[in-house]
């Protein structure tokens, strides 16, 4: 059973209608492993299926997120990025200086998740985390030229 069929079934099982718009969103997301913005999803769907509206994209994404089929992440670019829920989870280190993004795997956050569950009974959504900071390269660069401007 393909990923696409699984997703369609999950949608139906949840009691929601399978519309061509929703299906086209799923299709495009299944074809693209990387994060997509709502605008990108709209554009890619329209390349093949022109009958899709911006609102429908946002409404579909909200539903799919609610059903746990899609993850939303704010990668610091002023708009949310969407991706099909992946197993195993993955996360990102994002350099505030050069914007470089490094993917890291879930093991690094698993311990934290367990601690929060144990100590607080809090079930953290550690599906798709964005951690901001300074990458190795930029740290070196920063120590050479002082970052601060002094007029």
> Using the rule CB under 7 A, is 20 a contact of DNA?
yes
Among 80, 93, 106, 141, binds a copy of itself (CB under 8 A): 93
Q: Number of residues interacting with DNA: please give it, by CB under 7 A.
A: 25
Q: How far is the CB of 139 from DNA (least distance, A)?
A: 24
Q: Is 87 one of the binding residues for a copy of itself (CB under 8 A)?
A: no
- Binding to a copy of itself by CB under 8 A, coded x per residue (else -) over 29-68, reads --------------------------------------x-
- In angstroms, the CA 64 to CA 23 distance is 11
Name every residue whose Cβ is closer than 8 Å to that of residue 122 and which is 6 or more positions away in sequence: 116
Q: Is 4 exposed, middle or buried (0-12, 13-18, 19+ CB in 10 A)?
A: middle
- Beta bridge mates, 70: 84
The answer to whether the beta carbons of residues 108 and 92 sit under 8 Å apart is no
Among 51, 99, 114, 137, binds DNA (CB under 7 A): 51
How many of the other CB atoms lie within 10 Å of CB of 22?
Answer: 22
55 binds, among DNA, a copy of itself, none (CB under 5 to 8 A by kind): DNA
Which residue of 123, 143, 144, 145 would you call a contact of a copy of itself, by CB under 8 A? 123
Q: How far apart are CA 56 and CA 54, in angstroms?
A: 5
Residue 26 lies near DNA (rule: CB under 7 A): no
Angle between helices 20-31 and 54-66 (to 10 degrees): 70
Q: Is 102 in the site for DNA (CB under 7 A)?
A: no
Binding site for DNA (CB under 7 A): 12, 16-22, 37-39, 51-56, 58-60, 62, 78-80, 151
């Amino acid at each position: 059973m393909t990923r696409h069929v699984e997703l369609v079934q999950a949608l139906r099982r949840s009691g929601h209608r399978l519309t061509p718009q929703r299906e086209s969103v799923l299709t495009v997301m299944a074809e693209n492993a990387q994060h997509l913005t709502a605008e990108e999803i709209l554009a890619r769907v329209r390349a093949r299926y022109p009958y899709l509206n911006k609102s429908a994209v946002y409404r579909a994404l909200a539903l799919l997120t609610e059903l746990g089929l899609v993850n939303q992440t704010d990668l610091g670019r002023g708009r949310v990025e969407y991706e099909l829920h992946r197993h195993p989870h993955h996360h990102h280190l994002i350099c505030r200086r050069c914007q470089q993004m490094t993917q890291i795997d879930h093991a690094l956050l698993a311990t934290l998740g367990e601690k929060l569950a144990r100590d607080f009974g809090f079930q953290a959504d550690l599906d798709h985390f964005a951690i901001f900071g300074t990458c190795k390269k930029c740290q070196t660069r920063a120590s050479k030229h002082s970052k601060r401007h002094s007029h």
